[in-house]
Structure formats: C-alpha cells, structure tokens
C-alpha cells in the first residue's frame, strides 16, 4: 500500500502532514491479466476513459461511476468503438482524454493520415455514438505527439511531443500547449516554460481552475522512470519550479495524473514495460491542503424547442462579457439536449444558445461574485423557437383609422401568403414566419398607395413576436375650384372653403385668397365623397355641393356665387322633416347653421323662408304643412339669436313646382326649402359690377 505525505512550512519550520492512502481502483477496471494505463476523468467525475491491452492491442475503454465512497466504484468497462468500424489492424490507441463537456474524445495514434508518427486525433460524440476520428492537424508534426488534454475552459490544448536524439535512448518528451482561436481552431503549439521542460516531461494535466499543472517527469535525479510532479501557474506561461508528489512516486513509471472538477481526488497510473510485456494499474488518492485546486463553477442545462418542448441539438457559446473573448463552444448532447461547462472564478460569462433556423438566447453569470456550491451546478435552460409572429396594424396615415387591404408575403420572390397570413379585424394582421429568412411584405388597399418593406429574421433573433404599425398614404387627385360672381363672372378674391370628407368624417378648412391664376387647388382622396361649402365675402350668398372622387373625370368645380340682392333666391340643401310633419331632422342643422352665419355676416338683409311640397295629398293640406315647415326653420334660426323682424315664414304647398311631379325623383326635388332675399339694403350689392 502507498501513502502520500505533504510538506508544509510554518514559521520557517518544515512539518510533515498526515499520510494519505493511495488505492488501486476496483478489479472491474484493473485486471490481473492486462495493463490499464493513462486514465482520464471527465470534469463531472462520472466517466473514466483509459487505455488497456486486454484484447491483445491497445484500445480505449470507458466506465461510469456507480458509487463514490472511500474508493470509487465503476461499472464494467465498455470498449469505445468508432462509427465506420475498426481504424485498422495493429493500430494502437493511447492516452485518451475527454473534453470538459465529454462530447469529444482526444487520443494519440498513428493512423494513415498521420504526419509522420503518432498524432493527436479527436472524435465527436453524436447521438450516443463516437464519430470517425479526425486529425487535429494544427497541433501535429512529423514527430510523435501524445498525451492530449483540453483545459476546463476549453482555451488550451496541452500535449507532449517526442524529440529524438542521435541514439534512440536519447529521445525525450517536452510539454507544449496550443490556444484556441476565434474560429475554434488551435494555434501552433509552443513549449511550456523551461522551469517545467527540463529532461523528459510527459502526460500534462492542467487543473480545472487553470492554476496547477500536474505532469510526469524524468528529471536528473529520477533514475527509476517517470515520477509525478506539479507546478503552480502565475501567468499564461509562467510557472513555479516543479515539486514532486513524493509518496506517490515509485520504481514504476507514475504517469497521467488527472483530477475531476470540484474534487480532491487524483487519479494516475503505475506502468512498467519489460521486454514485450506491459504491466499497469490505475490508482486513486485524495489530495489535501494547497495541492487541492480551487473550486470551479459547473454549468449545466438543456436546450429545447419552445413550442414542442422537445430537446434540440444546438451550440452553446461561452464568451467573456467584458473582453468579448470567445471562451468555449459546446454542442448539446442528444437525445436529451443537455450541455455542461466548467470554469473557474474571475470572469463574467455570457452563454449564448444558437441553432440554424432557430432563435437566439443568452444568460449572464458573474463568477467573481456568485457563491459556489460544488454539489449544485448552475442550471441554464434555454428555449429556442423556429417561428416568429409578426403583428401588423394597418392605419390611414392621416386620420389613423384602421384599414383592411390585401397583404401579400414573399420569400425569395415567391408568394407564400397562403396559410401564413390571417386578418384579425380592425386593421390587424397576424403573419407566421420562419426564423433565419428574409421576407418581403406588400400591402395594398383601394385608393391608397402601395406599401412594401423587408422583414429580416436572420441573425440573433430573441423575440418570438413582433408588432409594427403601418400607415398607408391615401392616393389623391388634385382638385381645382374656381369661384366667381354668377352675374359678372369676375373672380371673387376672398372666400372661406370648408371641405368635408363624408367617408372619413374629416374636415379641411381653408381661408382662400386669390393666387396668380385666381384658382384654388386642393388634393382630395380618390374614391371618397366630399361636401364642399363656399362662404362668400360680405354681400354674397354661400354655396354648397357634393363631389364624388370615385368618378375619374371629377377634377374641377366651378362655383358661381350670388350677390345678396332683393332678387336673390337660394335653394337650401338637405333640409328634411319627419314624414307628414313639420319637425326638422337633425341632418338639417348643418345647412341651417350656414344660413345663421350668412345673416350674421350680412346684418342688413331680411329674408323669406319658403317651404314647398309635391302634389301628394290635397292642396289645402300641403299649403298648411309647408307653412308649418317654413315656421320650423324660422324658429331654429331665431334660437340662434337672430331677430324675428328679419325673417318671414311662408308655405307655398304644391303651387310652385320646379319640375313636373311625374316621378319620385322629381317629387323629391319639389319638396324643398328656399331662402329669398326680400330686403338687401346693402351698399355692397353692386361692388362687382
């Protein structure tokens, strides 16, 4: 039985700490009839891989942790087989090492594509199967490379390279390391500092906290073969003088020291080769004191589809939040979509989960401030989605009323509207879109300008629902209004024009002055109906009419204003009453308010309000009804503070039709209210003569 003794220093006095027992692993790994060597423990401490010659050739085996007591117990080892079958007859696989997240297996071998001797190879675990190994060409040379290991933060690949002297027995190894670049490739390896590379150094292992390098060395005073050493790291390639693990070193080759994350358990192998026979066993020992690495963070989680809740294969990228340096890239394990990552204290990390045709999600963790519980890893669960919903609210640009039109969706110039676009009412559209695509969206509405825009769902998409307001611009026609005196045809300089959109309840008020052409031009919406009211200057009557802009030739209006004289007669539009009644309908008030304004602007005039009927009913009844209706109009005008003495109500019944009462349309024309000037008494009546 072996014991490990630690030397500590207190007040300059060297003290001997208590002995720690090193024990051989259980027999289902260590076999009496074969050699087991170069063990490697996964970061989570649950898997061990090692090389064994029990089949007659050096192959790689793995075993799972079944219980962790004073001495770990492991399941029956399984031979690692690569997709595609055997790598070749007589091929020796040596020095296996798992990546920090156990999704890659590194090892040394001389395969057909080796550069000259043994090279470093890597195999990826996909859907539970190890894929065909690939040569890690950037770290290999014409010499032998062996003993690979990747640091817990995935930034460094350590290895050993064999250098040959003039004689075979003069060959020796040096420890090198390569750094991962932004593209995930390894740099050209450089040798570790000379404080470590002395005579013959091999089997490097960087502790999970990146602070201690454990390795095997044949130093000048190591006459019995490889012994175990450790060195502390001060900077990237600055190391303390190595110190031996005194009580673990034996007459055998003591090789491949490894430690799992947040564990004080050191695993290594004793190995001896005599002629054609090899002997080897794997040992476990508990470290204490300063030899125990600092605890590190273990991050674990899953990536699932947000909609189906099924696990998906995705890439989890780890970045330093301050320097934006990419630290690692993890492929989730299938079929459960899990991942794990190990990192020591000292940085703010950002985890980003991505997958082609899926969204992007991230999680930040500050390793400088967060507390560590080695028994409870930091859990990160990502939900990615492959589809987003775009909500479009379509409005009129000017009056902000919702619009319904025709929405067309294109992708790569192909119409893909069907099944993806639905109208929810009130101008609201819902569009289902696939992530990682660029779309063109076209919106058309009658009498509005066409609107198109691109919607890009490539890149880092974080939201599964977007909402956007679209304002459509109404198409308009330039409408010309010419205003002149009805008698003299001379242009009237100052008028007020009130244009009301009867479709949109939109009113435009313009104070019009004579321009260089004596015309007023306004843009009116195509397809809409308007009411145009012209209030002339003092001494002139008002004018109103309706214009339908759906009529393509309707681009001009000639207005002839009547001067207010004793001969002036105006037909009032839209003055209506309840059937067989003198009660005014509310729709009449707008026209009557114009009469009020006319009387206020021209205080000298007096007028008669004349009411007329068609020939339905008796003449006496119609005369009486028309008189009452004329009086209702006068009463309305008086309520607006107009004096009685300026107004006369008179009913004419059916006696003065403007057309024959032979059709319903003509009868409607005969049912009317007129305004007749009976006393102008104004000096302005002949100003335009």
pLDDT tens string 547-559: 999 887 878 899 9
Ranges of each domain in the chain = 2-291, 297-384, 387-472, 476-537, 563-689
Judged against a pLDDT cut of 50, whether residue 165 lies above it is answered with: yes
**Residue 11 binned pLDDT confidence (cut-offs 50, 70, 90):** very low
**Residue 7 binned pLDDT confidence (cut-offs 50, 70, 90):** very low
Fold assignment, 297-384: Immunoglobulin-like (2.60.40)
Of the candidates 312, 339, 314, the one whose C-alpha atom is nearest the C-alpha of residue 154 is: 339
- What are the tokens at 605? 């005039």
Judged against a pLDDT cut of 80, whether residue 580 lies above it is answered with: yes
Structural class in CATH, domain 387-472: mainly beta
Buried b (16+ CB within 10 A) or exposed e, 290-300: ebbbebbbbbb
pLDDT of residue 369: 80
pLDDT of residue 372: 67
pLDDT of residue 296: 81
Strand 238-239 to strand 253-259: parallel, antiparallel, or no bridges (unpaired)? Answer: unpaired
- DSSP string for residues in 597-615: HHHHH-TT-EEEEEEE--S
Q: In what order do the strands lie in the sheet with 348-354?
A: 326-331, 315-320, 348-354, 361-366
d(CA 239, CA 231): 6
Per DSSP, the three-state class of 125 is strand
d(CA 467, CA 389): 8
Per DSSP, the three-state class of 210 is coil
Q: Rg of the chain over CA atoms, in angstroms?
A: 48
Residue whose tokens read 């029990």: 54
Structural class in CATH, domain 2-291: mainly beta
pLDDT of residue 4: 40
Which listed CATH number (3.90.110.10, 3.30.1330.60, 3.40.50.150, 3.40.109.10) goes with 563-689? 3.30.1330.60
Query: Would the CATH topology of 2-291 be identical to that of 563-689?
Result: no
Name the strand (E) or helix (H) holding 664: helix 664-670
pLDDT of residue 515: 62
Kindly state the average pLDDT of the residues 332-348: 85
pLDDT digits (tens, 9 = 90+) for 459-507: 889 999 999 999 999 999 988 888 899 989 988 878 888 888 888 777 7
Could you tell me if 497 and 533 are in contact, meaning their C-beta atoms sit under 8 angstroms apart?
yes
pLDDT digits (tens, 9 = 90+) for 403-455: 999 999 999 999 999 999 999 999 999 999 999 999 999 999 999 999 999 99
- What are the tokens at 95? 């020095």
d(CA 146, CA 96): 9
Mutual angle of helices 589-601 and 619-639, in 10-degree steps: 60
d(CA 73, CA 24): 11
């Amino acid at each position: 039985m072996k014991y490990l003794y630690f030397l500590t220093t207190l007040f300059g006095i060297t003290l001997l700490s208590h002995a720690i027992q090193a024990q051989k692993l259980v027999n289902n790994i260590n076999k009496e009839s074969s050699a087991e060597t170069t063990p490697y423990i996964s970061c989570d401490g649950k898997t061990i891989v090692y090389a064994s010659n029990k089949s007659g050739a050096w192959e790689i085996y793995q075993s799972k942790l079944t219980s962790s007591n004073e001495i770990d117990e492991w399941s029956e080892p399984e031979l690692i087989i690569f997709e595609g079958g055997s790598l070749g007859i007589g091929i020796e696989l040596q020095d296996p090492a798992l990546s920090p997240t156990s999704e890659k297996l590194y090892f040394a071998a001389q395969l057909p594509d080796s550069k000259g001797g043994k090279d470093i190879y890597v195999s990826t675990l996909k859907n539970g199967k190890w894929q065909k190994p690939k040569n890690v060409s950037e770290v290999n040379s014409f010499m032998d490379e062996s003993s690979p290991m990747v640091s817990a933060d995935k930034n460094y690949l350590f290895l050993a390279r064999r250098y040959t002297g003039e004689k075979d027995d003069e060959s020796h190894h040096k420890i090198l390391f390569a750094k991962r670049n932004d593209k995930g490739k390894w740099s050209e390896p450089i040798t570790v500092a000379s404080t470590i590379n002395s005579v013959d150094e091999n089997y490097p292992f960087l502790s999970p906290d990146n602070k201690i390098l454990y390795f095997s060395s044949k130093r000048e005073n190591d006459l019995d073969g490889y012994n175990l050493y450790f060195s502390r790291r001060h900077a990237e390639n600055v190391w303390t003088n190595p110190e031996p693990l005194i009580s673990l070193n034996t007459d055998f080759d003591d090789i491949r020291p490894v430690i799992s994350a947040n564990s004080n358990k050191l695993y290594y192998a004793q190995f001896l080769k005599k002629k054609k026979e090899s002997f080897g066993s794997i040992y476990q020992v508990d470290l204490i004191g300063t030899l125990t690495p600092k605890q590190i963070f273990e991050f674990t989680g899953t990536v699932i589809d947000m909609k189906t809740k099924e696990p998906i294969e995705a890439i989890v990228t780890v970045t330093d939040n301050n320097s934006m340096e990419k630290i690692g890239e993890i492929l989730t394990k299938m079929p459960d979509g899990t991942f794990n990552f190990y990192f020591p204290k000292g940085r703010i990390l950002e985890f980003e989960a991505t997958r082609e045709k899926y969204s992007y999600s991230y999680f930040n963790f500050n390793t400088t401030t967060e507390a560590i519980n080695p028994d409870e890893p930091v859990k990160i669960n990502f939900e990615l989605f492959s589809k987003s919903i775009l909500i479009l609210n379509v409005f009129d640009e000017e009056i902000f009323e919702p619009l319904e039109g025709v929405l067309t969706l294109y992708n790569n110039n192909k119409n893909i509207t069907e099944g993806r676009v639905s109208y929810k009412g009130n101008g609201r559209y819902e569009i289902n879109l696939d992530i990682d695509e660029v779309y063109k969206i076209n919106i058309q509405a009658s009498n509005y300008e066409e609107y198109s825009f691109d919607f890009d769902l490539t890149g880092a998409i974080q939201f599964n629902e977007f909402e956007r307001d679209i304002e459509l611009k109404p198409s308009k026609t330039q409408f010309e209004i010419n205003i002149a005196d009805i008698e003299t045809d001379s242009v009237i300089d100052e008028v007020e024009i009130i244009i009301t959109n009867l479709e949109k309840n939109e009113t435009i008020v313009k104070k019009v002055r004579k321009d260089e052409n004596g015309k007023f031009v306004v843009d009116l919406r195509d397809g809409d109906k308007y009411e145009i009211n012209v209030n002339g200057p003092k001494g002139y009557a008002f004018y109103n009419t309706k214009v339908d802009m759906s009529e393509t030739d309707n681009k001009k209006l000639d207005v002839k204003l009547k001067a207010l004289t004793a001969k002036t007669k105006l037909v009032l539009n839209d003055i209506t009453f309840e059937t067989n009644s003198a009660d005014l309908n509310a729709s009449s008030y707008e026209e009557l308010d114009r009469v009020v304004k006319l009387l206020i602007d021209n205080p000298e005039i007096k007028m008669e309000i004349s009411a007329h009927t068609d020939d339905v009913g008796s003449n006496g009844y119609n005369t009486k009804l028309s008189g009452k209706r004329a009086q209702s109009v006068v009463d309305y005008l008086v309520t607006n503070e107009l004096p009685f003495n300026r107004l006369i109500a008179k009913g004419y019944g059916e006696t003065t039709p403007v057309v024959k009462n032979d059709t319903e349309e003509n009868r409607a024309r005969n049912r009317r209210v007129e305004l007749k000037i009976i006393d102008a008494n104004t000096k302005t009546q002949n100003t335009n003569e």
